[in-house]
Structure formats: structure tokens, C-alpha cells
């Protein structure tokens, strides 16, 4: 019976994550506090990022060798947070203990290790959690700030890209269920078993929210932003972009992977595995319906017959390997993939023909060694300054879509290569010259979405 009770209890909980922009000022933090207060019946578990820009400033501070410059950077960080404290009408000394610890950390001036940088950046989320929790308390909500490590976020020691230990989720759920107050938890950071501070990678607060939501088997994970949800494309590029009401995990991952800067790619995984839906909502428009990311593409595909969203990723390099032997050499393909694996380079898009194989990569760190090794298989051609365009939706593999796509691009003199369709028709990706990426997206958005 207790098991069922715990299940029922957690099933009714929501995890709410607020990004840097959503907590960027006293006014925004107040709006966020109100959004949380309005949802107390949902038993919210709140995850926050650092105040916008803070993580970058902390990395700068950590790396500044000059003492005077370091002091200035520190003072600027303090001033920025104190202005928010004042704007919220909170006690002036609210953040003093954290400021003092940060000051002590920054007194060394030694070239920081990855471990030390993690300690520096942890202050961004820690300060912000205190700001939001104190604002809620001022609004008569029983809220409390927690560094994630106090609630079971125990990670490996891969500083800068840490992963929670397999034992972490059970600990997280146990600790959170025992709380009386609404927890305001730091995103992005954790601690190793030895007690050293770690971070989950840039943009990692979404990941924290997903890990916690999956651990609790929450009703939903809400990612609150300053846009209406996942949009059909980057609104900074195409102002007519509109919100997509529903997407499958697979589609959202493809978008995230190919550059849509709206959800951290890793967010998708723990939530999908646990079958917890992710909602992307707008703090400026809390009544909006946002985007819901559901776990089954096959189910969603039954309902959706359109192209839903598109994105691009620049800075891509295309590699073509041509050899008559690809004609019957299935073994050659295996060798090719082995070479990429050996040189620690992951492939984004693959496209094959009788005469050869073309792939794209975005990490060119090992390009020279790769090229040498690939030369054993055939003639290698490298093309830099490419972009991958990715479109998703229930109909991207429907008859006519690809045809229309290439006609539209052709009419606009945009050359397309390396066309590839993900399995199950989740996405259609292709490569264009980097300089054509923006115009490709604009014309495609116009003909498929905003027409
Ligand atoms: P947060 O501070 O909440 O973490 P992000 O740093 O993730 O916010 O930035 C979100 C931004 O991503 C939005 O302001 C928006 O301009 C941009 N963006 C790019 N592509 C998309 C898309 N497809 N849908 C929504 N927003 C997008
Ligand atoms: N503050 C961290 C960053 O800027 C984590 C996050 O915002 O999600 O990368
Ligand atoms: Mg972010």
C-alpha cells in the first residue's frame, strides 16, 4: 500500500524549471514566484538556472589572472545580484555568505582546473535558488533553497560534463518526498561522492529537471522559458515562427541535436525513458498551452500530417570517400565507421551512393588523422563551411514532401547535398553551404509552415 501511495503522490507532482532569462531580473523573479504560487496544488518541485549571464561571468572570473581585474569582475557579480535583492525588497545581507565564499575562492588567482571552474560556476545557481526561495517566503509560501547535492544529485567526477550516478535517482526521490517545504533546487550542479562540486554541462539545468522529474515519475516536467514553447523555427531568424503544440521526443531530440537552441538535447533522454511528458511554457504568458513533448512518435504520426519544425546547424564539415569498392563492399562501410570511432569523431549525417559514402562531422579536432586513415579506403574530399538543415514532422517522409522541398530550394538557387532520412521518417536532413543556411530556412518555412 505504501508503494501505491508513494506512486500516487509523486504522480501528482510537477517539476518546474526556470531558465536564466526567466530569472534575469527582480521583476522576472517575482513573476516566476507567482507562477509557482499559483500551482501549489500540483506539489511543484522547482529547478532554477543562474541569473542570465552569470555562468559566463563566473567562468571569466575563474580564468582572470590579474588581481585587480578579478576584483572588478567579482564586484560586478555582487552588484548585479544585490540590485536584484534590493528590487525584490529582500534583506540586504541575504547573499552575503555565498558572496564571501566566492570571494575566498577567487582570491587564489592560480590557473583554475576544471574542478575549480565547477566550484566557481556553482555560485550562479546557488545564488538564484536563494533569491527565488526568499521571494516565495515573502509571498507566504513555505519554500526553501537547496543545492542539488543536498537532495541526492551525486555524480561521477567528469568535471564540466558530469553524469549522475546510477544510485542518484532513488536518493533524489527519497530526499524530495521527505520535504515539507517547496524545494527550490539548483540546476546544472552536483557533487561527487567525495564532496567535490561538479557541473552537468552548459545548459544543464534542463537536464537536472529531467533527472529529478524521471526520479519522481512526476506528472510532467515543465521547462519555463521566455518563448511560447518550441517554435517552428528560431524566431530570431524567422519572426513568423509559431509555437508547435505537440512533438514527439524523437522529433524534439533531432531539433535539439541540429541546433534548435531551445532544449538541451540530454533533457529528452531521462524523461523519455521514464515516460514523463515534457512541457515547454512561457513565463511571460503562463496561461499559454506551450509545447508538449510526448514519448511516442508513431502515435503522434497518426494525428500529424504536416512538417512541424525546422532548424540548422552551422560549422559542419562534409567528408566524401569515393571508391569503386563501395559498390559491393559492405565490409568497407564497417571499416569506415570504425575509423571514425577510433578517432573519437561522431558522424551527424550519412549518405551513400554506389560510388562512395559522404558524412558530416562538426568536431574537426582529429580531421587530419581521420583523412589519412580514410585515404586507405578511397579518394577523400573534404568540404568545410557547410550547414545541416533538419526538418521534422509526421509527414516528412510522405510522398511529395521531399520533391517540393528540393524544388523550392532549387528555385532559390540553393544547392543541396547529402540528403538523408532518419528511420521511421522522424526527420529529413540535408547539407547546404553555410552561407545558404539562413535563406534555405526562410524559404522552407514560408512554403511548408507559414504559407
Ligand atoms: P533559457 O534561459 O530558458 O535556458 P535558452 O538559453 O535555452 O533559454 O534560450 C531559448 C532561446 O532559444 C529563445 O529565446 C529563442 O529565441 C531561441 N530559439 C531557437 N530556436 C528555437 C525554437 N525552435 N523554438 C523556440 N525558441 C528557439
Ligand atoms: N547556468 C548554466 C549555463 O548557463 C546552466 C543553465 O542555464 O542551464 O550553462
Ligand atoms: Mg539555458
Ligand 3 centroid distance, CA of 379 (Å): 42
- What is the per-residue pLDDT across 272-319, written as a single tens digit (0 to 9) for each? 889 899 999 999 999 999 999 987 777 777 776 688 999 999 999 999
With a 6 Å cutoff on the Cβ, whether 55 touches ligand 2 is yes
Residue 225 CA: which ligand is closest?
1
Give the DSSP letter of residue 231.
B
Nearest CA among 409, 103, 391 for reference residue 232 = 391
Residues 20, 225: Cα–Cα separation, whole Å: 8
Residue 281 Cβ inside 6 Å of ligand 1? The answer reads no
| pLDDT exceeds 80 at position 152 | yes
Distance CA 333, CA 329 (A): 7
Ligand 3 centroid vs 270 CA: distance in angstroms?
Answer: 18
Cell 522541398 belongs to which residue? Answer: 405
Residue 5: the pLDDT is: 60
DSSP code per residue over 290-359: -EEEES-HHHHHHH--S--EEEEEEEEEEEEEE-GGGGT-HHHHHHHHHHHHHTT---S-EEEETTEEEE
Going from the C-alpha of 101 to that of each of 96, 104, 106, 341, 350, the distances in angstroms are 9, 5, 9, 43, 49
User: pLDDT band at 49, cuts 50/70/90?
Assistant: very high
Contact residues for 370 (Cβ-Cβ < 8 A; gap 6+): 319, 339, 340, 343, 345
Distance, CA 367 to ligand 1 centroid (Å)?
A: 31
Residue 162 has a pLDDT of: 97
Q: What is the pLDDT of residue 325?
A: 73
Which of 69-73, 262-266, 299-303 has the least mean pLDDT? 262-266
What pLDDT is attached to residue 2? 64
50 C-alpha vs ligand 3 centroid, how far in Å?
9
CA of 261 from ligand 1 middle (Å) equals 5
Instruction: Please tell me the distance between residue 42's alpha carbon and the centre of ligand 2 in angstroms.
Output: 26
Smallest-distance ligand from the CA of 208:
2
pLDDT score recorded for residue 44: 97
Ligand lying closest to the C-alpha of residue 228: 1
- Beta pairing, strands 143-146 & 182-186: parallel
Q: Tens digit of pLDDT for each residue in 371-385?
A: 999 999 899 999 999
Task: Count the Cβ atoms, other than its own, within 10 Å of residue 40.
Answer: 13
- The bound ligand whose nearest atom lies closest to the alpha carbon of 200 is 2
Could you give the dihedral angle defined by the CA atoms of residues 84, 87, 89 and 92, in that order, rounded to the nearest 10 degrees? Answer: 50
The answer to whether the pTM exceeds 0.75 is yes
Looking at all shown ligands, the one closest to residue 49's CA atom is 2
In the prediction, which pLDDT does 290 show?
A: 96
Residue 226 Cβ inside 6 Å of ligand 1? The answer reads yes
Unique residue bearing C-alpha cell 533553497: 145
Nearest ligand 1 atom to the CA of 311 is 23
Of 18, 350, 366, give the one whose Cα is nearest residue 205.
18
Residues 197-205, mean pLDDT to the nearest whole number: 95
Given a contact cutoff of 8 angstroms between Cβ atoms, the answer to whether 345 and 337 are in contact is no
Residue-level pLDDT at 3: 64
Task: Determine phi and psi for 446, rounding to 5 degrees.
Answer: -65, -45
Q: Give the tens place of pLDDT for each residue, 118-138.
A: 999 999 999 999 999 999 999
Average pLDDT over residues 442-448: 95
pLDDT at residue 181 above 70?
yes
Pocket flag, ligand 2, residue 202 (CB < 6 Å): yes
C-alpha distances out from residue 27 to 111, 281, 283, Å: 37, 18, 11
How many degrees, rounded to 5, is the angle at CA 251 between CA 249 and CA 253?
65
Q: Determine which residue's CA is closest to atom 11 belonging to ligand 1.
A: 262
Question: Mean pLDDT, the chain, as a whole number?
Answer: 92
User: Which among 198, 200, 203, 256 is the best mutation to test ligand 2's pocket, defined by most ligand atoms within 8 Å of the CB?
Assistant: 203
Atom of ligand 1 nearest to the CA of 259: 20
Most confidently modeled of 168-172, 263-267, 330-334? Answer: 168-172
Kind of pairing between the strands at 246-248 and 182-186: unpaired
Work out the pLDDT band at 265, boundaries 50, 70, 90.
low
> 201 CB under 6 A from ligand 2?
no
- Report how far residue 246's alpha carbon sits from residue 304's, in angstroms, rounded to the nearest whole number: 9
50 lines ligand 2 (CB under 6 A): yes
- Of all protein residues, the one whose alpha carbon is nearest to atom 10 of ligand 1 is 262
Query: What percent of the chain is predicted at pLDDT more than 90?
Result: 75
Q: What is the pLDDT of residue 425?
A: 79
Atom of ligand 2 at shortest distance to CA of 208? 8
How wide is the angle at C-alpha 392 spanned by C-alphas 389 and 393, nearest 5°? Answer: 155
**How does DSSP classify residue 60?**
H
Cα(164) to ligand 1 centroid in Å equals 25
Residue 6 has pLDDT above 70, yes or no: no
Q: Select the more confidently predicted residue: 65 or 303.
A: 65
Confidence of residue 352 (pLDDT cuts 50, 70, 90): confident
Residue in 185, 188, 200 to alter for ligand 2 test, most ligand atoms within 8 A of Cβ: 188
> In degrees rounded to 5, what are phi and psi of residue 30?
-60, -45
Please name the residues in contact with 218: beta carbons below 8 A apart, sequence gap of 6 or more. Answer: 10, 11, 13, 14, 15, 45, 212, 276
Any idea which ligand is nearest the CA of 55?
2
Residue to substitute in 16, 21, 22, 50 for testing ligand 2 pocket (most ligand atoms within 8 angstroms of CB): 50
| Residue-level pLDDT at 41 | 94
Alpha carbon of residue 279 to chain centroid? 14
The CA 331 to ligand 1 mean position distance, Å, reads 42
Q: What is the pLDDT of residue 356?
A: 86
Which of 91-95, 408-412, 415-419 comes out lowest in average pLDDT?
415-419
The CA distance from 49 to 59, in Å, is 15
pLDDT of residue 396 exceeding 80: no
> How far, in Å, is the centroid of ligand 2 from the Cα of 108?
25
**The pLDDT of residue 403:** 86
Q: Which atom of ligand 1 is least distant from the CA of 19?
A: 3
Q: What is the pLDDT of residue 62?
A: 97
Higher pLDDT, 140 or 396: 140
Question: What is the predicted pLDDT for the residue at 438?
Answer: 96
Q: Whose CA is nearest to atom 5 of ligand 2?
A: 203
Rounded CA-CA distance 82/105 in Å is 19
Amino acid at each position: 500500500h505504501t508503494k501505491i501511495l508513494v506512486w500516487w503522490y509523486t504522480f501528482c507532482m510537477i517539476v518546474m524549471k526556470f531558465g536564466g532569462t526567466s530569472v534575469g531580473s527582480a521583476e522576472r523573479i517575482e513573476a516566476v514566484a507567482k507562477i509557482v504560487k499559483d500551482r501549489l496544488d500540483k506539489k511543484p518541485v522547482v529547478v532554477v538556472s543562474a541569473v542570465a549571464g552569470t555562468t559566463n561571468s563566473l567562468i571569466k572570473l575563474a580564468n582572470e589572472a590579474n588581481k585587480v581585474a578579478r576584483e572588478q569582475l567579482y564586484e560586478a557579480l555582487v552588484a548585479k545580484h544585490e540590485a536584484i535583492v534590493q528590487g525584490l525588497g529582500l534583506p540586504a545581507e541575504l547573499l552575503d555568505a555565498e558572496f564571501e565564499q566566492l570571494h575566498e575562492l577567487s582570491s587564489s588567482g592560480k590557473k583554475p582546473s576544471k574542478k575549480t571552474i565547477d566550484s566557481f560556476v556553482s555560485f550562479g545557481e546557488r545564488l538564484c535558488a536563494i533569491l527565488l526561495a526568499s521571494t516565495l517566503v515573502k509571498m507566504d509560501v513555505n519554500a526553501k533553497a537547496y543545492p542539488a547535492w543536498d537532495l541526492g544529485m551525486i555524480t561521477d567526477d567528469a568535471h564540466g560534463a558530469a553524469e549522475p550516478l546510477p544510485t542518484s535517482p532513488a536518493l533524489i526521490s527519497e530526499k524530495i518526498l521527505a520535504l515539507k517545504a517547496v524545494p527550490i533546487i539548483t540546476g546544472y550542479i552536483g557533487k561527487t561522492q567525495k564532496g567535490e562540486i561538479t557541473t552537468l554541462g552548459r545548459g544543464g539545468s534542463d537536464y537536472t529537471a529531467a533527472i529529478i522529474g524521471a526520479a519522481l515519475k512526476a506528472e510532467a516536467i515543465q521547462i519555463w522559458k521566455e518563448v511560447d514553447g518550441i517554435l517552428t523555427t528560431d524566431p530570431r531568424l524567422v519572426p513568423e515562427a509559431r509555437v508547435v503544440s505537440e512533438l514527439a521526443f524523437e522529433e524534439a531530440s533531432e531539433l535539439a541535436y541540429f541546433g534548435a537552441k531551445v532544449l538541451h538535447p540530454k533533457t529528452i533522454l531521462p524523461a523519455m525513458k521514464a515516460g514523463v511528458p515534457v512541457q515547454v511554457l512561457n513565463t511571460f504568458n503562463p496561461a499559454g498551452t506551450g509545447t508538449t513533448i510526448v514519448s511516442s512518435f508513431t502515435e503522434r504520426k497518426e494525428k500529424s500530417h504536416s512538417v512541424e519544425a525546422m532548424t540548422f546547424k552551422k560549422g559542419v564539415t562534409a567528408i566524401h570517400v569515393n571508391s569503386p569498392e563501395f559498390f559491393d563492399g559492405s565490409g568497407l562501410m564497417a571499416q569506415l565507421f570504425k575509423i571514425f570511432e577510433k578517432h573519437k569523431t561522431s558522424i551527424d549525417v550519412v549518405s551513400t551512393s554506389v560510388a562512395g559514402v559522404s558524412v558530416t562531422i562538426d568536431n574537426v579536432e582529429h580531421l587530419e588523422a581521420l583523412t589519412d586513415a580514410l585515404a586507405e579506403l578511397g579518394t577523400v574530399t573534404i568540404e568545410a563551411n557547410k550547414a545541416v538543415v533538419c526538418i521534422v514532422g509526421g509527414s516528412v517522409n510522405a510522398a511529395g514532401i521531399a520533391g517540393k522541398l528540393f524544388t523550392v530550394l532549387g528555385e532559390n538557387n540553393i544547392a543541396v547535398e547529402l540528403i538523408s532520412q532518419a528511420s521511421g521518417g522522424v526527420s529529413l536532413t540535408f547539407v547546404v553551404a553555410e552561407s545558404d543556411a539562413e535563406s534555405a530556412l526562410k524559404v522552407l518555412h514560408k512554403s511548408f509552415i507559414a504559407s
